[in-house]
Structure 1
Amino acid sequence: MTILDRLTGLASPSVALRRATQLSENGKLTEAFPLFATAARAGIGHAEYQVARCYLEGSGVPPSRAEGTRWLRRAADHGSADAQALLAALYVTGMATAEADKDSESERLFVEDTTSEPDFASALDLATKAAEAGSATGQALLGYILTSGPEPMRDADAAYRWYERSAAAGCAEGSLGFALSLARRGLSADRARIADQVRRAADADLPTAIYLLAILTEHGLGVAGDLAGAARLYQSAAEKGLPAAQFRLGLALIDGSLGDQDPMAGEAWIRRAALAGNLEAANLLGDRNVKSRPPDFSEAAIWYRRAAEGGHQAAARALASLYLTGNGVARDEQEGTHWLRTAASNGNRAAQVDLANLVLQGVGEPDDITGVAGWFETAALSGDLIAAFNLGLCFAKGVGVDQDETRAAQWLRRAAEGVAEAQYMYARILRDGRGVAADAQQARAWFAEAAEGGLLDAQVALAEMLLNGSGGKRSPEAAVQLFQRAAAEGHAGAMFALGALQSSGEGLPADHVAAQKWFAAAAELGHGQAQLMLGRYLSKGLAGERNPAASRLWLERAAAQGFQEAADELSEFPG
């Protein structure tokens, strides 16, 4: 600082302010700051504002948001509209709080700059004062608060008027806000005005405005359509660090929708967008890694987690799937259920259904059960037959609702229009008369539908009805064919049935050797009755092979499943 400047500092505060302003305009910020401080300590609002700016920007003094906020508050209290607008902006972004302003100067010296929740109430008061004092920046900020603040504060009409005044005063932020307000009205007649205001904001180098102008240019809204021009605008906004522009530019380079195709550059831009916090970009990277050949599930999990932690529902569901299947991450049912629950609680319909399905399988926490039926019902009422089937199961089992066989039958009947499992279950309900009047003929028809759909249990149930003539004409030959088809697919019940038929000679020639083979095949698959019959065959040598040790083993297995006959026969074995 020169001798003149030191003497100026000893003169009147207003003289110090004038000299500080001159020095600042000439880029001599270090020399200007002490003079600004002299005027500020005398209570001159403009000087207080300048000191605040110096602290906030680190101009001529080490940066300190806390000190900058303190001086802004003093300037705002002394009527500086510029200070009121800037302080309001800090409150809106959470970079300052009214509570922190009350700390003593000594306390602020040792406080690190942090970000808190937005303080819209304090911001509203300050922005209103600045706007009414004629600050174009304050007017734009007030428009933003009235548009995007808490619901009780919102007033679209008032926001429109403040944005309009700010734009008329030449404020770029006001032009951008005014354009968005016009767009919300949804009038095609406003397109040209919207484009004009967006262009003014873009000319002031606002990245968001450049991005919006790119969208208008791409689609020819209020401006001439120009794909190459749109690409240049997206590139400009992307290079200024706007994640949404980086994402759109990346997509365009991958699919060539705006000109030249360059997938590698496109993915690089999408990665930049994802790392900058664009959730759609992170989710897309997860999808691309899952669909790559070969899939890279580990990389996908990284991007899905980034998106999911930011609140992206589809990414949370995808991440849950990776944990539940163990793809790319260690299989973790609890973690998978957590992410499904996160997506479901935020309204993701598919995740709700997935979580409900897990609950039906006995997975999840007690609190999950309460929403299960409601989630299924919402989807079922929209025509989702799988959801209708699952809702039927909820009523049948009493999961999340009181058990109600009548309502279970109603939902299963609806789902039976297209879901083989529902056809099978509804047929069982009709056969047994649970929740509806028993109707063997209809049960047989629905078993036939499900069997045609390839459901093995339905094939076996239909075969049993054909064999005993329930619900229609008796047809042992057709029954045998169905049993054989199901047995060939590994159905233990069908194998047991074929063994029983060959053992009795009903529908098939009596053949104890063949019967024992079928009983053995079913017994190996855990069929209790087949284990009992195999034990008997081996005990008595009915197929020509007598094996007491093996017989005992199979009878013990059948007894363990609750077959009393097996236990009785075991008691006859010698100690």
Structure 2
Amino acid sequence: MRKLLLSITLSLAGWAFAGTQQCDDAFAKPDYVTAYKECLPLARQGDGIAQAIIGYLYDFGQGGVPQDYTQAATWYQLAVQQNVPLALNNMGELYQYGLGVAQSDQKAFELYLKSSAQGNRKGQYLAGYFYEQGRATPQNYTRALELYRKSADQGYAQAQNAMGYMYEFGYGVKSDYTQALSWYRKAADQEYEVGQYNVGYVYRYLMDPPNDQEAFKWFQKSALLGHADAQNELAYMYQYGYGTRQDFQQAIRWYGLAIEQENSAAYNNLGIMYRDGQGVKQDYQEAMRLFQKSADLNSSYGAYNLAYLYYNGLGVKQDYQKALQFFTQSANRNYADAQNYLGIMYQYGYGVKQDPQQALNWYQKAAEQNNKYALYNLAYMYSAGLGTRQDQSKAAQLYERASAAGYPDADAELGYLYLNGQGVTKDEKKAAQLFQKAADAGVVIGQNNLGYMYELGLGGLPRDYAKAVFWYQKAADQNYTLGLSNLGLMYENGSGVPEDPKKAFELYMKAAQQDDSWAQNRVGIMYYKGKGVAKDAKKAEEWLRKAIAQGNTDAQSTLDLLLGDLNAPTPSNTNTNNTSNSTTTVTTNTPVNTNQIKIDILDPKPGATVSENWIFLKVRTSKPMGNMQFRILVNGKEIGTASRAIGIAASSEYELPIPVDTTSSNLNIEVSAYDGQTLMGQSKLSLTNSKGNKNQFTPQGNLYILAVGIDEYKYVSKDRFLKYSVKDATDIVAEMKKQQGIVYNNVYDFSLHNNQATWENIQAAMIRVQKLAKPEDTVIAFFSGHGEQMDGRYYVITYDTDPQYLRRTGLMQDELTEFYAGLQSNTIVILDTCRAGGINGVRAISNPKVDGLVRALETTSNAVPTPPNVKKVIFAATGGESYAYEDPAWGNGAFTKAFLEALRGEKSVQNNAGLISILRLGAYLGDRVQELTGGKQVPNIQLSSSDWVIANPQ
């Protein structure tokens, strides 16, 4: 960002006009009102420096004149003709940021070079920055360093700081933290707050060992000058006593100052203090508010901590849906702990449909960052064969990594693999060592297994019942079922302890109540024999049946032996046929379908009138069913539909989308629920259908189209140029413009093609569309071209994106989600992109990963409030592991080809009024793209739950 300079010293050499001293003195004080009065006459007479000063006053709105970039540019341009450095630099910045003039990096760079050639230190710094970034010129770290050094040697603090940055990251020079610190220090000594912060950062995070005392000193200097990140770091050091005495009140004070500048990390860290009651009374509600603010500012930590509160029900009702939303937001910013939690939620179906493959995917992302919990969980997935083929060797490798990362639970699991020779060479001694390590760390499985090794004398350990009892007791103290059962057996047999059947029974019962079938069998036997408890055949049968229900064959044998064959039917009433010697047994306890359920239709109400193309039927079942399937009849015709569980209890309330494909005025709906082939319940509903006549539609609001199509790229090799992306964009716009005066009042085109589609131009267009679109309007954001993914984030490759420096030059997923969330209108996002490439009609080299962006857009849409009745949908050309294709036979990308077919009259996307329905369109695109590509391209379609009209085919 451009900042108002505090003081400027100008050379008077060459001034030929009277009054120049007064003009110069007033500007240097600074007394901008007097400067304007004294300099304006000189500027009108052609004095270059006076012209630059007047331009400056208009540029920053000083001296009693309004901020006016156009006026500033006019005066700067006059001074530029006389090569005045102040004008060269500031005019360059106007071009760089597109203020008062058309944005042009090239013109900005040329002006910075002219200033630099005159030895102006700011011009040298700015030209160096363009070389470093590769803006308007090929990236050249050597040239950037040369210019930065020239500027830094003249004492320009920002250039000195830039030199430190180059040495810290090794850009154009070998990375050298000592040199980086030296340059940062030069900038810091000039009271440059960014330099001071960087000095503190080096001492705190880059020095080995850290020097917290020095870090504290420099963070404090920077913080006092108002640097928000430094204020946050200073607060953190007070909070934990790094480099200073621990002082919670000072921590709260500095976090508060950083929060005034909307610092996301400070919101999060202060939230932790309230969550944990550090220096303040524990207050989950305040913690939640602060975490929410941090998450709103795109902090992965804030989103994670907010999700954690919802996941565990801390200060709020447990809500897995909310937890999923914020864990996803954090995970999409590549935070490993959040990715691990998403894996847990998908593995066990917390707030989402159980999906082992999704769980595996998220664990893998976190494991790539060496997250010890994710490594452990991923190992379990391979060991159990969940979401992937079973691979004990892979599991062992992952447990090894988790152990090396400091997770002792992995030692217990790895010990088990060594004990049994699964995925590794069997080694009982190694197993015993690992169990000991885990047990010493308090891991319950390690304690139990070490007891087992002592009980049997395995792994080079002596058979020692006393030590076995010691470790079984440790495990039992943590209520571990195997520990309870094993300890119970020691007491029952008198191994290592005096024989005590009563104690054994108590331990077995604790394990049995946790559904351990072995313990349930022992409880049943002891009840029958009256061992350690009063004899009770009824309770014996009860516990033996519980064990049998879990497949315990020993319990079945015991029950058969002790109580007789219980599978034979028990006659309650016998009738003898007098005309025959045969006997017919009639049993009065005939089995009843105890799973019968009641279905209540909550919405719409009976007799209601509907006019939409879809009805969203909400039903409630009287009790949860795990494999619920619905069959729907409308006027006797079966309708294929997919149910969606809603509400906190995904077990009892469902939403059933039903297409209304009939012109009949009466709708008789019958809902039947099945568990497999078994009918569980039915309900009926009659409605009135009042849909209007075909093709009658009143225009609704305006349509704004941001259509980006890029075939040719500045930094992508020509063999990877595309052929039809620009055509995709122009064809879509042309079709939608036909809707002006029909579906929309006006259609506004914000197209950007090839070299127009720079990062800054796309950003500017997104901001403008955001500001223009009202709730009654519609926005179509269409992107056709190359995409890429790095570190879990999706990027659109703009015309000026350099794939080697994707983070700096690509249009980030975060920027797209910010645009999407900020739209207050009906929105359709169309992504006909995937990863960089374009050879042989494939818009990708490696597997596309558009799903991360789709998830981010969907999560952001759910997290940011929008006006009532505003709907948003996402159409991604690819999803999962498929590619995006283009072909001369289509003259477009496959996805755009299908979209155009819909707009040009494809009947299946039209409702009964002949209008294009968004839900029908989504269904058509999903099928048609796969048909065009022979199943090779699979779109990712994210629809709202409401239908709406987007076009009337002409």
Class of the TM-score when normalised by the shorter of the 2 chains: 0.5 to 0.7
Query: Are residue 446 (structure 1) and residue 468 (structure 2) matched?
Result: yes
Partner of 1:352: 375
- Structure 2 Cα separation of the partners of residues 252 and 152 of structure 1: 41
Query: Are residue 22 (structure 1) and residue 53 (structure 2) matched?
Result: yes
**Contact 2:285/2:315 (8 A) holds in 1:** no
The C-alpha deviation readout for 1:493-547, integer Å capped at 9, x for no partner, is: 577789999999x99xxx999999998776554344665787799999999999x
Decide whether aligned partners of structure 1 residues 194 and 16 sit closer, same or farther in structure 2, where only a CA change above 3 A counts. Answer: same
Offset of residue 295 of structure 1: 1.1
What is the total number of aligned residue pairs between the two structures? Answer: 511
- Structure 1 Cα separation of the partners of residues 470 and 149 of structure 2: 73
**Contact 1:195/1:216 (8 A) holds in 2:** no
Query: Are residue 60 (structure 1) and residue 100 (structure 2) matched?
Result: yes
Question: Which amino acid in structure 1 is aligned with residue 163 of structure 2?
Answer: L
| Pairing 1:58-457 to 2, within 5 Å after superposition | 58-65=98-105, 67-69=107-109, 71-72=111-112, 75-76=115-116, 79-89=119-129, 96-98=133-135, 100-101=136-137, 123-149=144-170, 153-169=174-190, 171-178=192-199, 194=218, 197-198=221-222, 202-203=224-225, 205-211=226-232, 234-250=255-271, 267-290=288-311, 291-363=314-386, 365=388, 372-373=395-396, 376-377=399-400, 386-412=409-435, 415=438, 421-422=445-446, 425=449, 442=464, 446=468, 450=472, 453=476
- Structure 2 Cα separation of the partners of residues 466 and 386 of structure 1: 28
The C-alpha deviation readout for 1:104-130, integer Å capped at 9, x for no partner, is: xxxxxxxxxxxxxx9866643442232
Question: Which amino acid in structure 2 is aligned with residue 82 of structure 1?
Answer: K
User: Which has the larger displacement, 15-24 or 319-328?
Assistant: 15-24
Decide whether aligned partners of structure 1 residues 58 and 544 sit closer, same or farther in structure 2, where only a CA change above 3 A counts. Answer: closer
**Contact 1:393/1:408 (8 A) holds in 2:** yes
- Structure 2 Cα separation of the partners of residues 192 and 476 of structure 1: 63
Offset of residue 362 of structure 1: 2.5
Query: Greater Rg, structure 1 or structure 2?
Result: 1
Question: Which amino acid in structure 1 is aligned with residue 158 of structure 2?
Answer: T
Decide whether aligned partners of structure 1 residues 120 and 306 sit closer, same or farther in structure 2, where only a CA change above 3 A counts. Answer: farther
- Structure 1 Cα separation of the partners of residues 349 and 302 of structure 2: 24
- Structure 1 Cα separation of the partners of residues 112 and 506 of structure 2: 85
- Structure 1 Cα separation of the partners of residues 248 and 436 of structure 2: 53
Offset of residue 143 of structure 1: 2.1
Decide whether aligned partners of structure 1 residues 537 and 171 sit closer, same or farther in structure 2, where only a CA change above 3 A counts. Answer: closer
Decide whether aligned partners of structure 1 residues 123 and 407 sit closer, same or farther in structure 2, where only a CA change above 3 A counts. Answer: same
Offset of residue 403 of structure 1: 3.6
The C-alpha deviation readout for 1:453-510, integer Å capped at 9, x for no partner, is: 377667877898999x998999898999699859965665577789999999x99xxx
Query: Are residue 526 (structure 1) and residue 545 (structure 2) matched?
Result: no
Q: Which has the higher contact order (CA 8 A, sep 6+)?
A: 2
Offset of residue 282 of structure 1: 1.9
**Contact 2:181/2:199 (8 A) holds in 1:** yes
Decide whether aligned partners of structure 1 residues 364 and 121 sit closer, same or farther in structure 2, where only a CA change above 3 A counts. Answer: farther
Offset of residue 286 of structure 1: 1.6
**Contact 1:211/1:233 (8 A) holds in 2:** yes
Offset of residue 412 of structure 1: 3.8
**Contact 1:178/1:197 (8 A) holds in 2:** no
Decide whether aligned partners of structure 1 residues 70 and 284 sit closer, same or farther in structure 2, where only a CA change above 3 A counts. Answer: farther
The C-alpha deviation readout for 1:238-295, integer Å capped at 9, x for no partner, is: 2223223333455567788678998766644432222223332222212222323421
**Contact 1:217/1:227 (8 A) holds in 2:** yes
Offset of residue 171 of structure 1: 3.8
Decide whether aligned partners of structure 1 residues 336 and 483 sit closer, same or farther in structure 2, where only a CA change above 3 A counts. Answer: closer
Question: Which amino acid in structure 1 is aligned with residue 415 of structure 2?
Answer: G
Decide whether aligned partners of structure 1 residues 496 and 164 sit closer, same or farther in structure 2, where only a CA change above 3 A counts. Answer: closer
Question: Which amino acid in structure 1 is aligned with residue 337 of structure 2?
Answer: A
User: Which has the larger displacement, 34-43 or 233-242?
Assistant: 34-43
Question: Which amino acid in structure 1 is aligned with residue 551 of structure 2?
Answer: G
**Contact 1:405/1:435 (8 A) holds in 2:** yes
**Contact 2:116/2:123 (8 A) holds in 1:** yes
User: Which has the larger displacement, 470-479 or 492-501?
Assistant: 470-479
Decide whether aligned partners of structure 1 residues 45 and 336 sit closer, same or farther in structure 2, where only a CA change above 3 A counts. Answer: same
Question: Which amino acid in structure 2 is aligned with residue 97 of structure 1?
Answer: G
**Contact 1:386/1:419 (8 A) holds in 2:** yes
Question: Which amino acid in structure 2 is aligned with residue 446 of structure 1?
Answer: A
Which one has a larger percent helix, Structure 1 or Structure 2?
A: 1
Decide whether aligned partners of structure 1 residues 79 and 255 sit closer, same or farther in structure 2, where only a CA change above 3 A counts. Answer: same
- Structure 2 Cα separation of the partners of residues 541 and 122 of structure 1: 90
Partner of 1:560: none
Question: Which amino acid in structure 2 is aligned with residue 373 of structure 1?
Answer: A
Decide whether aligned partners of structure 1 residues 307 and 342 sit closer, same or farther in structure 2, where only a CA change above 3 A counts. Answer: same
Offset of residue 53 of structure 1: 1.0
- Structure 2 Cα separation of the partners of residues 517 and 221 of structure 1: 61
| Pairing 1:417-566 to 2, within 5 Å after superposition | 421-422=445-446, 425=449, 442=464, 446=468, 450=472, 453=476, 523-528=548-553
- Structure 2 Cα separation of the partners of residues 466 and 253 of structure 1: 48
The C-alpha deviation readout for 1:78-114, integer Å capped at 9, x for no partner, is: 654313323444666xxx425x425xxxxxxxxxxxx
Offset of residue 229 of structure 1: 7.4
Decide whether aligned partners of structure 1 residues 377 and 300 sit closer, same or farther in structure 2, where only a CA change above 3 A counts. Answer: same
**Contact 2:166/2:172 (8 A) holds in 1:** no
Offset of residue 50 of structure 1: 2.9
**Contact 1:195/1:222 (8 A) holds in 2:** no
**Contact 1:23/1:29 (8 A) holds in 2:** no
Offset of residue 52 of structure 1: 1.3
Structure 2: stretches of 5+ with no match in the other structure? 1-39, 59-67, 572-954
**Contact 2:197/2:219 (8 A) holds in 1:** no
Which one has a larger percent strand, Structure 1 or Structure 2?
A: 2
Question: Which amino acid in structure 1 is aligned with residue 305 of structure 2?
Answer: L
**Contact 1:427/1:444 (8 A) holds in 2:** no
**Contact 2:49/2:84 (8 A) holds in 1:** no
Identity of aligned residues (%): 23
Decide whether aligned partners of structure 1 residues 44 and 431 sit closer, same or farther in structure 2, where only a CA change above 3 A counts. Answer: same
Offset of residue 343 of structure 1: 2.2
**Contact 1:167/1:175 (8 A) holds in 2:** yes
User: Which has the larger displacement, 25-34 or 219-228?
Assistant: 219-228
Offset of residue 141 of structure 1: 1.9
Report SS of the residue matched to 1:153: coil
Decide whether aligned partners of structure 1 residues 80 and 394 sit closer, same or farther in structure 2, where only a CA change above 3 A counts. Answer: farther
